């Protein structure tokens, strides 16, 4: 069997369209790779081999007849376990939904299927997308392909690890406060958080509705651009969907170095030395090419973690109230009393981190505390959005490390929720402001662990992010994806 699993997205797309190999040959190679290596990574909660091979066979037949659905027909894509696929379990890695089969497709899934993508669900995640390490899954801990004693990031850790381990060339994740970008950084791949409202949230099980956004992960920039172009655009079923057309890849153009203004941050004590070194080395290279570097004041954004966690947990408290064993969720009815039904169902169905966030959110929304916490957090969110508007009046793009550290050890931060929350210190403000950002790999630390760069642009300017990422892709990325996982 050809080792087609080694190919990056762009090579897969080219090979399928040139007839170098068939979708079935590609999928069989990936299936063999998953069967050989996923016992070490645990990227997938489950995957239905027969249905995947059936979809590959159908795609192969369409291409044989000269009737592919699109240039993407036959490309496999991993799917996070909180994105609904019709008649497929969507558990959000939670016991409370362990047998829930969605009766419908998410809009993003409908769009992918219409183009012929082959779905490979269900990528593991932090339960209900609440976490930064994929250690909060109710079922298993996903490992980092670069070092299986370490975490892959979260909450889209399963999707990121699946791409990094060459199980799939691209995958869908969801990003509430960094849950696509942070695992992309720790796994040495690309990960995009689009402008809020450009990708429909219909069929994405909600954590925090004003922050959540579906985004793609890929081994290369072309996979990000193509998947985003397919899943973006207005959706009448999502009230928060922007009235814009799907993204046009022809809008991606390289930016002139000498006219480019880059916003940079001052390195703080939270940033690991190896991460800081890679970041500053890249900035020096940009400056040598003629880009103008502008140091920005991020002092206001240092408050983004408490602002984010008040707003996110408040919305989570509201969104997860439907999982009560009556409307949704596994029903636990110990003695027929309504109150006991709620308590037992939710106590047994939700994990500790989800319970912690529900309690925090309920507290901040309760009488006497609403104005002191949630109301003030919403006002502060407006200030953060205005701060970004001020930044982008001075610069074209903002560059920061995606994560202050490289991948940490499994279990290292589980006993200290505050330290775990700080893993998102550089990503949460982007969600609060609703602007787009993408993590790109820029090297490794002294242990060989990947380091990511976060590129942030004004709202609806994903084309600037993509253009810049293409400009630096040949020399910035020094991350070798592992072939044999130890």
Residues annotated catalytic, as ranges: 80, 155, 179
According to DSSP, the residues that pair with 443 across neighbouring strands are 451
Structure tokens at 443: 């090297």
Distance CA 465, CA 184 (A): 16
Distance CA 352, CA 332 (A): 18
Report DSSP state, residue 372. Answer: I
According to DSSP, the residues that pair with 123 across neighbouring strands are 44, 80
400-409 exposure pattern, b = at least 16 Cβ within 10 A, e = fewer: bbbbbbbbbe
The per-residue DSSP string of 380-426 comes to: HHHHHHHHHHHHTTT-SEEEEESSSSSPPBTTSSTT-HHHHHGGGTT
Q: Provide the CA 86 distance to its chain's centre, in angstroms.
A: 21
3-class SS of residue 455: strand
3-class SS of residue 140: coil
Q: Provide the CA 427 distance to its chain's centre, in angstroms.
A: 12
Distance CA 73, CA 154 (A): 29
Query: What are the two backbone dihedrals, phi and then psi, of residue 458, each rounded to the nearest 5 degrees?
Result: -60, 160
Place of tokens 């590609």: 26
- Contact between 26 and 148 (Cβ < 8 Å): no
Structure tokens at 138: 């109710």
Query: What are the two backbone dihedrals, phi and then psi, of residue 130, each rounded to the nearest 5 degrees?
Result: -105, 90
Query: What are the two backbone dihedrals, phi and then psi, of residue 107, each rounded to the nearest 5 degrees?
Result: -60, -40
The tally of CA atoms less than 13 A away on the side-chain side of residue 175 is 35
Residue (of 257, 240, 372, 370) closest to 314 by Cα position: 370
């Amino acid at each position: 069997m050809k080792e087609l699993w080694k190919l990056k997205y762009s090579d897969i797309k080219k090979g399928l369209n040139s007839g170098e190999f068939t979708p079935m040959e590609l999928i069989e190679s990936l299936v063999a790779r998953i069967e050989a290596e996923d016992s070490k990574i645990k990227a997938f909660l489950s995957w239905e081999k027969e249905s995947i091979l059936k979809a590959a066979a159908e795609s192969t037949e369409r291409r044989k007849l000269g009737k592919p659905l699109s240039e993407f027909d036959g490309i496999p894509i991993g799917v996070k376990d909180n994105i609904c696929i019709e008649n497929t379990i969507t558990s959000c890695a939670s016991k409370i939904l362990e047998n829930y089969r969605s009766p419908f497709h998410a809009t993003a899934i409908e769009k992918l299927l219409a183009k012929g993508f082959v779905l490979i669900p269900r990528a593991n995640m932090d339960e209900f997308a609440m976490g930064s390490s994929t250690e909060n899954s109710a079922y298993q801990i996903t490992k980092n392909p670069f070092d299986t004693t370490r975490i892959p990031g979260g909450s889209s850790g399963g999707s990121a690890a699946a791409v990094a381990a060459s199980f799939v060339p691209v995958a869908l994740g969801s990003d509430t406060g960094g849950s696509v970008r942070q695992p992309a950084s720790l796994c040495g791949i690309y990960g995009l958080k689009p402008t809020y409202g450009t990708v429909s949230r219909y069929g994405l099980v909600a954590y925090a509705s004003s922050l959540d956004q579906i985004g793609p992960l890929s081994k290369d920039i072309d996979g990000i651009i193509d998947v985003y172009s397919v899943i973006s655009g207005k959706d009448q079923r999502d009230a928060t969907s922007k009235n814009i057309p799907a993204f046009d890849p022809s809008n991606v153009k390289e930016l002139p170095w000498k006219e480019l203004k880059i916003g940079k941050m001052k390195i703080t004590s939270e940033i690991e030395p190896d991460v800081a070194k890679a970041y500053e080395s890249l900035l020096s290279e940009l400056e040598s090419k003629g880009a103008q570097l502008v140091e920005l004041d991020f002092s206001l954004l240092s408050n983004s973690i408490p602002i984010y966690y008040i707003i996110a947990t408040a919305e989570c408290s509201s969104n997860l109230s439907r999982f009560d064993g009556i409307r949704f969720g596994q029903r636990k009815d110990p003695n027929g009393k309504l109150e006991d039904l709620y308590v037992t169902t939710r106590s047994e169905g939700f994990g500790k981190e989800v319970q912690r966030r529900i309690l925090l959110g309920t507290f901040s929304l309760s009488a006497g505390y609403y104005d002191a916490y949630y109301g003030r957090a919403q006002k502060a969110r407006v200030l953060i959005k205005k701060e970004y508007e001020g930044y982008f009046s001075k610069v074209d793009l903002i560059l920061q490390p995606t994560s202050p550290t490289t991948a940490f050890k499994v279990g290292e931060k589980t006993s200290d929720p505050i330290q775990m929350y700080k893993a998102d210190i550089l990503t949460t403000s982007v969600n609060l402001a609703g602007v787009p950002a993408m993590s790109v790999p820029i090297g490794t630390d002294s242990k060989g662990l990947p380091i990511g760069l976060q590129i942030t642009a004004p709202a609806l300017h994903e084309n600037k992010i993509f253009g810049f990422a293409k400009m630096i892709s040949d020399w910035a990325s020094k991350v070798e994806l592992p072939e044999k996982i130890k």
